[in-house]
Amino acid sequence: MKKNIVIFGHTGQLGRSLIKNFENNFKLNKNFTILKRRFNLQNITKIPKNSVIINCAAYTNVDQSEVNKDEANLINNLLVKETSLVCRKKNCLLIHFSSDYVFGGNKRGYTETDKLKPINYYGYTKLLGEKAIKETSCNHIIFRVSWLYSIYGTNFIKKIFQKIINNEKIMVVNDQYGSPTSCNLISKVLNKIIFDKNWYNKKKLYHLSSMGRTNWYNIAKFVIKYSKKKIKKNSSTLEATNSKKFKTIAKRPKNSYLISKKIQNELNHKINNWRYYMKDVLDELILVNEKKNR
């Protein structure tokens, strides 16, 4: 019998990336049924027994989380707790995503056991979500990811790419360090986990990002250099700024580089430098742009 994979947050960038990847995977289609569900109490209660639950839903607007605290707490914490209670009762595996923003930013790089100290409300609710899952003690795998990007939704890489297309002036902070996580990397890792039953009864937390500590300015520089080689737009300019000049409602950690050695070792999956994954997404964006202009 086919096993159910319930995806919450299927309309978000990670949800859409996972679904695209899963739908293209013949082996997965043969063995699993993908159920896309909106993340709410009713659907959480209806989770089928023995399924794999992939929770991509979250309140991800970091600045608005400072304003809409109740909603951020509901999605990132309270509903996550409900999900983990149902998962325990129905013997499911919960795969959940947390954030680099659970850290305070005073270290160059963070491992899974480092001290947690969120400095904004979004990070605080993501930490509460992690704690709720651990306390419930359902089977779970939590991945802390950072600076997510894909061809879908809104993300930094797409914004820079669009500015190149529009020949705009680009200003980017150069004093926040971390590493971008491609949704394609997450898809590859989940693909391995889903096919290995040994992962179904674990209670684990991992960092999952690409190799190489960088900052937003350097990422923008790379996006511009790579894209300009392939598209005939080269009048956009890049200028560095810093967090003091570029004010936002929520504070961001200065450093949130996730060291992802643990998942590499335990899953035996090599993780490459961030440029490796970004090239693939840029190639896709360039292709979509070419088709638009034909």
Ligand X SMILES: NC(=O)c1ccc[n+]([C@@H]2O[C@H](COP(=O)([O-])OP(=O)(O)OC[C@H]3O[C@@H](n4cnc5c(N)ncnc54)[C@H](OP(=O)(O)O)[C@@H]3O)[C@@H](O)[C@H]2O)c1
**Which residues contact ligand X by CB under 6 A?**
9, 11-15, 38-40, 56-60, 71, 75, 97, 99-100, 126, 145-148, 153
Residue nearest to ligand X (CB): 12
Contacts of 7 (CB under 8 A, 6+ apart): 15, 18, 19, 34, 35, 36, 37, 54, 56
**Cα–Cα distance, 77 to 62 (Å, whole number):** 15
Query: Of the two residues 75 and 259, which places its CB atom closer to ligand X in the complex?
Result: 75
Q: How far is the CB of 207 from ligand X (least distance, A)?
A: 11
Q: How far is the CB of 185 from ligand X (least distance, A)?
A: 12
Query: Of the two residues 15 and 253, which places its CB atom closer to ligand X in the complex?
Result: 15
Which amino acid appears at position 186 of this protein? I
Contacts of 232 (CB under 8 A, 6+ apart): none
Q: How far is the CB of 265 from ligand X (least distance, A)?
A: 22
Query: Of the two residues 50 and 187, which places its CB atom closer to ligand X in the complex?
Result: 187
Query: Of the two residues 50 and 162, which places its CB atom closer to ligand X in the complex?
Result: 162
Query: Of the two residues 42 and 268, which places its CB atom closer to ligand X in the complex?
Result: 42
CB count in 10 Å sphere of residue 242: 12
Smallest Cα–Cα separation from 219: which of 143, 152, 148, 118? 148
Q: What's the sign of the alpha-carbon dihedral 283, 289, 291, 294?
A: negative
Query: Of the two residues 237 and 274, which places its CB atom closer to ligand X in the complex?
Result: 274
**What are phi and psi for residue 4, nearest 5 degrees?**
-85, 135
**Cα–Cα distance, 178 to 90 (Å, whole number):** 37
Q: How far is the CB of 161 from ligand X (least distance, A)?
A: 16
Please give the distance of CA 100 from its chain centroid, rounded to a whole number.
Answer: 10
**Cα–Cα distance, 212 to 154 (Å, whole number):** 23
Please give the distance of CA 170 from its chain centroid, rounded to a whole number.
Answer: 24
